[in-house]
């Protein structure tokens, strides 16, 4: 949490607008505190998975907002310091004039060697110059106070970041445990693990594996299958991030894949974009950990590149349900602060692969997802 004294010190500075970096950072800290309250309340919730998912999302949003606020604060500080450095000569002259005026006796400032007319003229000049000097002094004082406030904000952010990172890790661990103990999801079929292993061993492409999924089911499918066809084109991406490569775009090595590559933050939560049946979960070919969802008949969402996957084949997961976590390691607090100060970059070192298949062929995920 941000200490009360720190908040008071910030609020005592210049007025904070909605787009002010300091105001944004304080608002983000409030969101992290709210996430902490949500995490504490989740342990007594009737639907722990939903409550913990909300807490993890609140932590992730708060951390992103705090990093953004700190990045903007660092940029603002650099701008002000650059302005002060550019007019350092003017500031030095201003300070020299003020120091001279402060040391000189009042009569010497008011009398002019040429007599009363010169004295009157110098008085008029002094009357014109004084407001300008006061304006410069006020402007300089405001800039120096803002720089001091921004430095205090960034120096005090370490505790807030540390608590936020610790809280989100606790929430993710609790979420994984709650999902493992979950028994309330409907199940449409039972997987035959032997047939699944044989299918994995005998296929060399995702096309071949997807076409053989029906052979991994024991018995007949039961219950109503989800049908998300009316949601085509409106679904949110499974993870918060940025699309790096579009459908059929080549990577740096010239490899073309019929799906999206999405850059995401380390350990980011991956959610089911819509209610769907889990068709497969586990390591597959060179895609890493994969989860395959069926949101409608003859439609598959292949989501690959996760460090952890949640759910069991045959289960119907609701929209927004956690289906995995991205890999990677969250940078330590010092690294986050240094990155924000130096480059302002938000770390998105992990990549998620998303492929949509209709029938036996991949289609552009943009036909299902709002990629913009």
Q: Cα(148)–Cα(268) distance, rounded to whole angstroms?
A: 34
- At residue 87, φ and ψ (nearest 5 deg) are -115, 35
Q: What is the pLDDT of residues 272-318, one digit of tens each?
A: 999 999 999 999 998 999 999 999 999 999 999 999 999 999 999 99
Rg of the chain taking only CA atoms, in angstroms? 30
Q: Judge if 47 and 171 occupy the same domain.
A: yes
Residues 101 and 79 in one domain: yes
pLDDT digits (tens, 9 = 90+) for 231-265: 999 999 999 989 999 999 988 888 889 999 999 99
311-342 confidence digits (pLDDT tens): 999 999 999 999 999 988 777 676 666 655 54
Task: Please check whether residues 168 and 223 belong to one and the same domain.
Answer: no
* Rounded Cα distance, 43 and 174, in Å: 9
Q: Show the domain range for 273.
A: 190-367
Does 326 map to a domain? Answer: yes
Contact (CB, 8 A) for 238 and 274: no
Q: Is residue 159 part of a domain?
A: yes
36 & 71 share domain: yes
CB 278 within 8 A of CB 290: no
Residues 123 and 241 in one domain: no
Q: Is 360 found in the same domain as 211? A: yes
In a domain, 372, yes or no: no
């Amino acid at each position: 949490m941000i200490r009360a004294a720190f908040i008071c010190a910030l609020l005592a500075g210049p007025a904070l607008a909605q787009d002010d970096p300091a105001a944004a950072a304080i608002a983000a800290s409030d969101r992290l505190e709210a996430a902490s309250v949500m995490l504490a309340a989740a342990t007594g919730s009737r639907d722990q998975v939903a409550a913990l998912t909300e807490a993890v999302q609140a932590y992730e949003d708060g951390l992103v907002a705090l990093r953004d606020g700190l990045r903007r604060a660092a940029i603002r500080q650099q701008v002000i310091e650059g302005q002060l450095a550019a007019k350092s000569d003017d500031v030095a002259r201003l300070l020299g004039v003020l120091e001279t005026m402060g040391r000189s006796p009042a009569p010497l400032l008011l009398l002019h060697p040429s007599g009363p007319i010169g004295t009157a003229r110098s008085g008029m000049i002094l009357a014109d110059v004084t407001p300008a000097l006061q304006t410069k002094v006020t402007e300089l004082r405001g800039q120096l106070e803002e720089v001091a406030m921004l430095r205090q904000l960034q120096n005090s952010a370490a505790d807030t970041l540390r608590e936020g990172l610790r809280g989100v890790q606790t929430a993710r661990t609790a979420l994984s445990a709650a999902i493992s103990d979950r028994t309330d999801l409907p199940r449409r079929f039972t997987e035959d693990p032997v047939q699944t292993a044989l299918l994995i061993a005998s296929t060399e492409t995702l096309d071949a594996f997807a076409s053989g999924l029906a052979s991994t089911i024991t018995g007949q499918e039961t219950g109503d299958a989800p049908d998300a066809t009316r949601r085509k084109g409106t679904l949110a991406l499974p993870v918060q991030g940025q699309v790096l490569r579009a459908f059929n775009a080549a990577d740096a090595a010239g490899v073309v894949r019929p799906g999206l590559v999405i850059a995401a933050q380390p350990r980011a939560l991956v959610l089911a974009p819509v209610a769907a049946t889990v068709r497969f979960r586990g390591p597959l070919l060179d895609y890493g950990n994969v989860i395959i969802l069926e949101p409608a008949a003859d439609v598959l969402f292949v989501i690959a590149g996760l460090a952890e996957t949640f759910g069991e084949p045959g289960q119907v997961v609701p929209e927004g349900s956690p289906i995995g976590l991205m890999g990677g390691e969250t940078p330590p607090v010092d690294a986050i602060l240094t990155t924000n100060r130096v480059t302002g970059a938000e770390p998105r070192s992990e990549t998620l692969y998303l492929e949509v298949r209709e029938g036996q062929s991949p289609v552009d995920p943009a036909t299902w997802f709002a990629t913009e």
